[in-house]
Amino acid sequence: MPGTIFGIPFDEELFLDMWNEAPDPYLTAMIESGAVVEDSTIAEMIQSNGNIYTIPFYNTLDGEDLNYDGQTDITVEEVDGGFQTGVVYGRSKGFFARNFTAELSGADPMGHIVSTVSRYWQKRRQYRLINLANAIFSITGASGLAKEWGEKHVLDLSSTTADPRKIKETDLNDLATLSCGDNKGAFGLAVMHSNVANTLENLQLLEYRKYTDSLGVQRKMQLADINGFTVIIDDGVPCEDVGGEGANSGLKKYTTYLFGNGVIRTAKGRVDYPVETVRDAKKNGGQDELITRMRETLHPNGFSFKVPTSNWTQSPTDAQLFAKANWDIKFNPKSIPMAKLQTNG
């Protein structure tokens, strides 16, 4: 409904349209790499208020074929499979005038508000993608799928006492081969720390993408390309102190993630009031507030979410979403193009 907020004309429907259309270069890069897929089937499932959905799957056909000679009977084998469970999380965020005042005098105040809100939710999506990966790669086991997952999809090349083992030009390709063998071509996206990206840049292997800002100045993005991989540079990936000796004291271990085709399924859930404006006449002598809400899923394909036995509500907390105990592996690991590389830079 048209009105005003922060002293400017404000139409909630127009804001919502602009918010939905706001460019998200990181999500676009993830989708173009093939790693993140907008799943229409999941989207249809979660348009109600439900937060749990189940997707059936069928295992890859295998086994010996038969001689077709007019005499040999054809035997049939049952196609087996299973199901995986995903979860929708809902989040909200409120802003008030002080968040926007410094720049609201510009020519496009509505555009500034939309871009600010959009960037906020973009960063939160990346945060959840990285922490979901942390949870998934924490799944371990002494046997079965979990054991194979840990052995083939995690490559730790970091050092704790010797010279730092920084990333090399062949490491990403070697990890893709280790984890998925002849299916390694499915990989297309890498998420890494800026220090790891800097090592590759110094080796002249990384090519940064650029954009032109509103003043016509070309600027470098936190997006790059290397040997067929789209690279997202995000210092939210794990970085831990590992000690080191002498000149190498303070040595750090950096995690780089590889994602492949269709490994992250995403969809938007139903939100009846995604944006509202509120005026609080008492707070700070009177202030305008913008409330935003969203529901979505980021589901690692091949894994299943288990509802916690306690403190469960209609939306999982981040602690529940990122807890390894709440996830099970369902697919053959070779068919899951996700991998984790650890180096000292």
Query: DSSP states of 180-228 as a string?
Result: HGGGGGGEEEEEE-HHHHHHHHHTT--EEEEEE-TTS-EEEEEEEEETT
The pLDDT value given to residue 195: 96
* Residue 335 near residue 247, CB atoms below 8 Å: no
Lowest mean per-residue pLDDT among 7-11, 105-109, 118-122: 105-109
The residue with tokens 């105040």 is 109
- Residue 126 CA to chain centroid, in angstroms? 5
Tell me the two tokens of residue 33: 């790499």
The pLDDT value given to residue 114: 87
How far, in Å, are 117, 165, 196, 233, 247 from residue 251 at the CA level? Answer: 37, 10, 13, 20, 9
Q: Which residues pair with 84 in a beta bridge?
A: 55
Query: What is the pLDDT confidence band of residue 8, given thresholds at 50, 70 and 90?
Result: confident
Q: Span 96-123, mean pLDDT?
A: 77
**Strand, helix or coil at 246?**
helix
Instruction: List pLDDT tens digits, range 49-76.
Output: 679 999 887 776 777 888 888 888 888 7
**Model's pTM, two decimal places?**
0.85
Instruction: List pLDDT tens digits, range 179-224.
Output: 999 999 999 999 999 999 999 999 999 998 887 766 677 777 888 9
The pLDDT value given to residue 99: 63
The number of CA neighbours under 13 Å toward the Cβ of 230 is: 22
Q: CB within 8 A of 316, min separation 6: which ones?
A: 51, 87, 89, 308, 326
Measuring CA to CA, which residue among 214, 274, 272, 277 is closest to residue 9? 277
Q: What percent of the chain has pLDDT over 90?
A: 59
Query: What is the pLDDT confidence band of residue 101, given thresholds at 50, 70 and 90?
Result: low
**Strand, helix or coil at 91?**
strand
For the chain, give the mean pLDDT. Answer: 88
Lowest mean per-residue pLDDT among 2-11, 43-52, 153-162, 314-323: 2-11
The pLDDT value given to residue 43: 94
User: Which sign, positive or negative, has the C-alpha torsion 10, 14, 16, 20?
Assistant: negative
- Torsional class of 192: left (φ above 0), alpha (ψ -120 to 50), beta (otherwise): beta
The pLDDT value given to residue 250: 78
The pLDDT value given to residue 310: 92
Instruction: List pLDDT tens digits, range 254-285.
Output: 999 999 999 999 999 999 999 999 888 878 77
Which comes out higher in pLDDT, residue 173 or 115? 173
